[in-house]
Amino acid sequence: MKGLSLFLIKKAISFLILIVILTFFSLFLEKKREGSFLYELLGQRSQSKEMEILKKQFHDPENLWFNFKEKITLFFTFNFGKTLRGEEILPLLIEASKITLLLSMISLIFSFFYGFLNYFLGSLKIFWHEKLLKLNFFLLSLPIFVLAIFFIWLFSLKLSIFPPGGKGPLWYFLPALTLSLKSGARLAIFLLEYKKQEEKKTYIQTLHAMGTPKNRIYAIHLLKNIFLPTVSLWLIDFSTFVAGAAILESIFALPGLGFLLISAFWQYDTHLVSAILVYSAFLVFLTNSLADVLANYFKKFSVQSHNER
Amino acid sequence: MNAKISIALLITLLISSLIAEPKIDIKKAFCPISLENPLGCSALGEDFLQLLISASGGTLIIALLGRILSIFLSLFSSITGFLLPLFWFYHLLAQALLTIPVLFLAVLLRNLWKTHEISLLLSLAVAEWALSHEWLSKRIYDHKQKTFCEASFSLGANKFFLLKKHILPYLWHESLILFFVYFPNSLLTLSALEFLGFSQNTAYSGLGYLVAVGKDYLFYKPELAMLPALFLTIMVFLSLSLKKKISNELS
C-alpha cells in the first residue's frame, strides 16, 4: 500500500512538471512563429487600417510570462478556456478524442490479432518465420499515408466496398486497417524475434526433449511468457497510434485530435494548440504509466516463478 | 539486403538527384510513357522520372542533415549534462517532450526559423532530440559505472579527463549506432510532414509532397501517387536493412 501511494505521488509530481514544461514550450513556440491569428482572420483584407481596428479590439498581451500564468491557472482548474473563435475547448477536445481513441482502440485490436496470427504462423513452419519477418519489415517501411492511399484506391475507387472518409461506423474500417497493419507489423516482428530468443532457453529445449507437442509449447508455454511484454510494448506504442491517427484523420477526413491540431496550427489558435498538446500528453503519460506498472508486475512475476522453481 | 548494396543505392540516388533537373512544360502535361519520358510526365509537364529522383534526393538530404543535427544536439546536451549540473533539467525536458508524439512536435516547431528549409531541418532535429538524448545519457551513465572508469575517478581523475579519455571515444561509436537506428524514423517523419503540407515554401519538392499532390489524380492517374510512394518505400526499406546490419555489426 505504501509502495503504491509513493508510486502515485511520484507520477502525479512528474505529470505536474510535464504540464508546466509543455505549456511554456508551446506558448514560446507560438510566440516565435511568423504571422498571427489576426492576419489569418483578415486574410486578403489585412490592410493596415482594419488590422489596427482589430488589434485594439482583440486583447492579446504580448507578454509570454503573463500568458503562461493565465494558461497554467486554467489547466489546473480543468478549464482549457476558449478557442480564438469563441468555442469552449474542453467539449471540443472530448468530442475529438472520442474519435481518435475509438480509431486507436479498433486498430489496437486488429493489430493484436495480426501480430499473434504472425506468431502462430511462424510457429507452424520454420521457413515461414523468415518470410513473415521480411513481409513485416516491408510493411514497416511503408509510410502510413502510402498505405492509406493504396487502400483508398483499392477498396474505395476500384472495388467500391468501403467509403474513403467521413464519420460513421463503416468509415472507421479503412483508417483502422491502415493503422493496425503498421503497428501489427511492429508487434509481429517483436513476437517473432522474442519467440526465436525464447526457443534457445533451457526450459523450451527440455520440453522438446520430453516430447511435448510443438503446438502445446508455442500455444501455452511460450505464449505465457510473451504475453505481458507484448502488452507493455502495445501500451508504450500508444503515442505512435496518436501520431498515425493524426495523419489518417487528415486523409480520411475524420474530425479527431490530430485533425484538430493541424487545423488549429494553421489558424494560429495558440490556446487550442497548447490544450491539445497537454491533453494528448496526458493520454500518452497515462498509457506509459500503465506500461510501467505492468513491466514491474512482470518483473516480480518472473522473479517469483524463478524462485518457486 | 547487403549493407554495401543499400549504401551504394542510397548514394547513387543522392548523386543522381543533384544532376536531375525536371523542367516545367505545361504543353506536355500527363504525357504518356516514351523513350524521352520513361515514366511519363507530371501535371506540370515535368519528366516524372527526373522529378522522382530530384524529390528523393531532397527528402534524403533533409532527413540526413536533420538526423546529424539531432545527434549533435543530443551529444551536446548529454555531455553538458554530465559535466555541469544540468542533468535533471535536460532529463525533465526530454521526458516532457517524449510524451508528445514526434509528428506533433515537428508540426509545432515547423515555423521556428524564417528560412523554411532551415525551419524544417530544425523541427526534425529538435523533435528527435529527446529520444537521442535519453539514449546517450543512459549510455554515459552505464559507461561511467564500469570498473575502469570508477578506478580512474578514484585515482583522482576529474570529470573532464574521464570524458576526454574514456567516455568520448565510446560515445562516438554509440552515436554511429544511434544515427542508423533512428534514420528510418527521420525519413518517415519528414515524409509525413511533407505530405501534410509543412514543406511548402521550401526550395525542394519532397516525396511526401509528390504523394500528396498525386492523390488528387488517384482516380485516372494513380501512378502519380503510387510511384513516389514506391520510391519512398524503397528508401525506407534500404535504410531499415542498413539499420539492422550496421547496428548488429557495431554492437
Please tell me if residue A281 touches chain B, with a CB cutoff of 8 Å.
yes
Please tell me if residue B111 touches chain A, with a CB cutoff of 8 Å.
yes
Identify the pLDDT of residue A35: 58
Identify the pLDDT of residue A48: 63
3-class secondary-structure state, position B47: strand
Q: How far is CA B117 from CA B62, B198, B204, in A?
A: 8, 10, 8
- Among A26-40, A171-185, B95-109, which is the least confidently predicted range? A26-40
Asked if A258 and A100 count as a contact pair (C-beta separation under 8 A), the reply is yes
* Burial class of B212 by CB neighbour count within 10 A (0 to 12, 13 to 18, 19+): buried
Query: Cβ–Cβ of B229/A146 closer than 8 Å?
Result: yes
pLDDT, mean of residues A132-137 = 87
Identify the pLDDT of residue B176: 84
pLDDT in tens, B182-233: 888 888 888 888 888 877 666 677 888 888 888 888 778 888 888 888 888 8
Query: Cβ–Cβ of A281/B102 closer than 8 Å?
Result: no
Please tell me if residue A239 touches chain B, with a CB cutoff of 8 Å.
yes
Identify the pLDDT of residue A93: 87
- Measured between CA atoms, the residue of chain B closest to residue A257 is B104
Question: Is the per-residue pLDDT at B40 higher than 60?
Answer: yes
Choose from B56, B89, B98, B100 for mutation: most chain A CBs within 10 A: B100
Query: Cβ–Cβ of A143/B114 closer than 8 Å?
Result: no
- Measured between CA atoms, the residue of chain A closest to residue B237 is A141
Please tell me if residue A14 touches chain B, with a CB cutoff of 8 Å.
yes
- Among A143-152, B64-73, B113-122, which is the least confidently predicted range? B113-122
B219, B236, B241 ranked by CB distance to A143: nearest: B236
Asked if B187 and B14 count as a contact pair (C-beta separation under 8 A), the reply is no
Gap between the Cα atoms of B89 and B77, Å rounded: 10
| DSSP label at residue A221 | I
Identify the pLDDT of residue A52: 67
Question: Is the per-residue pLDDT at A156 higher than 80?
Answer: yes
Helices (H), A164-237: 173-199, 202-209, 214-216, 223-236
* Partners of residue A269 in chain B, C-beta under 8 Å: none
Question: Is the per-residue pLDDT at A130 higher than 80?
Answer: yes
Q: Which residue has the higher pLDDT, A57 or A218?
A: A218
Question: Is the per-residue pLDDT at A124 higher than 70?
Answer: yes
pLDDT, mean of residues B164-192 = 85
Query: Cβ–Cβ of B92/A145 closer than 8 Å?
Result: no
Alpha-carbon distance B101 to nearest alpha carbon in chain A (angstroms) = 5
> Which range has the top average pLDDT, A121-130, A163-172, A174-183, B163-172?
A174-183
pLDDT in tens, A282-294: 887 777 777 777 7
For A162: left if phi > 0, alpha if psi spans -120 to 50, otherwise beta; the answer is: beta
Gap between the Cα atoms of A303 and B194, Å rounded: 48
Gap between the Cα atoms of A237 and A283, Å rounded: 12
Identify the pLDDT of residue B71: 92
What ipTM was assigned to the predicted interfaces of this complex? 0.79
Please tell me if residue B1 touches chain A, with a CB cutoff of 8 Å.
no
**Widest Cα–Cα separation across chain A:** 88
* Partners of residue B229 in chain A, C-beta under 8 Å: 142-143, 146, 149-150
A150, A277, A285 ranked by CB distance to B104: nearest: A277
pLDDT, mean of residues B79-100 = 82
Mean pLDDT value across chain B: 82
pLDDT in tens, B130-145: 888 988 888 888 888 8
Question: Is the per-residue pLDDT at A115 higher than 60?
Answer: yes
Question: Is the per-residue pLDDT at A45 higher than 50?
Answer: yes
> Which range has the top average pLDDT, A127-131, B228-232, B239-243?
B228-232
Question: Is the per-residue pLDDT at B62 higher than 60?
Answer: yes
* Partners of residue B196 in chain A, C-beta under 8 Å: 247, 250, 262
> Which range has the top average pLDDT, A59-63, A81-85, A109-113?
A109-113
Reported as a pLDDT band with limits 50, 70 and 90, residue A259 is confident
Question: Is the per-residue pLDDT at A137 higher than 70?
Answer: yes
Identify the pLDDT of residue B112: 62
**pTM for this entry:** 0.82
CA atoms within 13 Å, Cβ hemisphere of A250: 21
Q: Which three cell numbers stand for residue A284?
A: 500518452
Please tell me if residue A277 touches chain B, with a CB cutoff of 8 Å.
yes
Number of Cβ pairs < 8 A linking chain A and chain B: 117
Question: Is the per-residue pLDDT at A309 higher than 50?
Answer: no
Gap between the Cα atoms of B108 and A30, Å rounded: 8
Q: Which three cell numbers stand for residue B114?
A: 524564417
3-class SS letters over A242-304: HHHHHHHHHHHCCCCHHHHHHHHHHCCCHHHHHHHHHHHHHHHHHHHHHHHHHHHHHHHHHHH
Q: Quote the percentage of chain A above a pLDDT of 70.
A: 78
Query: Cβ–Cβ of A247/B240 closer than 8 Å?
Result: no
Please tell me if residue A28 touches chain B, with a CB cutoff of 8 Å.
no
pLDDT in tens, A169-222: 677 888 888 888 888 888 888 888 888 888 888 888 888 888 888 777 777 777
3-class secondary-structure state, position A88: strand
Identify the pLDDT of residue B177: 84
